Amino acid sequence: MSAVTEQQAAAPAGEGLSPLRHVYLLDDLTGLIPTLPRARELGEEAVAEAVGAVRRCVLNVAGLIDLDHIAVELISWDHALAEFLARTPTLPAHDVAIVIGSGGRRFADQLEEQGRRLAGRLDVPAAKILSDSGDAFFSEHSVLSRDGTPLEVVVPSGSTRVLVVDDCVQTGGTLTAVAEAAGVTSGSVVTLVCNEFTRRRRESDGWTIDFGTLLPGETYPMSYATDLFCVRDFLVDTAVRFADGTSTSYSSGGDWLSFLHGTRAEEARSHWTRTRDLLDDLRLLDQI
């Protein structure tokens, strides 16, 4: 998820925080689509059509960002995974592995498929829940269970070595919330993508973080200069969840596209809408 929901959009004038300068887009979808149950029913041609549509959409919307002022970098989930596996041949020693959210679950499954056993695995359905669906972009948020109830993370008694598994560590806010719910203050983290600034801050707090791809640049709360977006979150209507039980995608609600594209926001929205419609027609959308 983008850090924008945590930093509450661009910095207000006069606070001295940097404007957005670098956008990272994590393609967490093109490698996922061929593995879906529906993909096996569709056949290679239809799956290739879906993957190609997502790739074209991402390239098109990236080109609609103001490249004179904002650098855009595309990150492949599969490449980040390969980098992680090469960089981390064995997982940190642990008694319990706390797996965060659906992205963390996918990453954890892939680790175990590669023989990286996760001891005492606990899957935690954590999500950022925004307080105000009428003003999503500036809404405050809490990290709760996906159903809106408080997080409950019960670490077995005697577990002294905790490993946290998440697909992305951008600001570290979700990591902090889950750790607090589990009653732990330090441990190890493995992640596909990590912000460099956040890694330094968390390691100074007693955490160690192993990653696949390290993103340079400061992020919230010290700066608004960099942000990370997952491609899936522009397409699924559960990407942004609200306290009233409603939800939306980045391309349907709030002001995320205006934040990224300015006056070309509607052009970007049309690309996402066409791609979402295709995935829906192929009955892939409800499985991603």
**CB atoms closer than 10 angstroms to residue 242:** 19
- Please state the pTM of the whole predicted model: 0.90
Distance CA 175, CA 165 (A): 9
> What are the residues whose beta carbons fall under 8 Å from the beta carbon of 230, sequence distance 6 or more?
1, 2, 25, 26, 28, 103, 167, 168
Separation of alpha carbons 65 and 71, rounded Å: 9
Residue type, 160: T
Q: pLDDT digit string (tens) for 164-222?
A: 999 999 999 999 999 999 999 999 999 999 999 999 999 999 999 999 999 998 887 77
Residues 28, 235 contacting (CB under 8 angstroms): no
Listed residue (236, 238, 245, 237) closest to 148, CA to CA: 245
**Whole-number Cα distances in Å, 130 to 52, 141, 143:** 33, 4, 9
Distance, in Å, from the CA atom of 239 to the CA atom of 251, rounded to the nearest integer, reads 10
For residue 154, the 8-state DSSP code is -
Question: What pLDDT shows up at residue 254?
Answer: 62
User: How far is 16 from 75, CA to CA, in rounded Å?
Assistant: 29
24 confidence band (pLDDT: 50, 70, 90): very high
Biggest alpha carbon distance in the chain?
Answer: 56
How many helices and strands in the chain, by DSSP H and E? 9, 12
Whole-angstrom Cα distance, residue 201 to residue 1? 19
Q: What is the pLDDT of residues 78-133, one digit of tens each?
A: 999 999 999 999 999 999 999 999 999 999 999 999 999 999 999 999 888 888 76
Does the pLDDT at position 233 exceed 70? yes
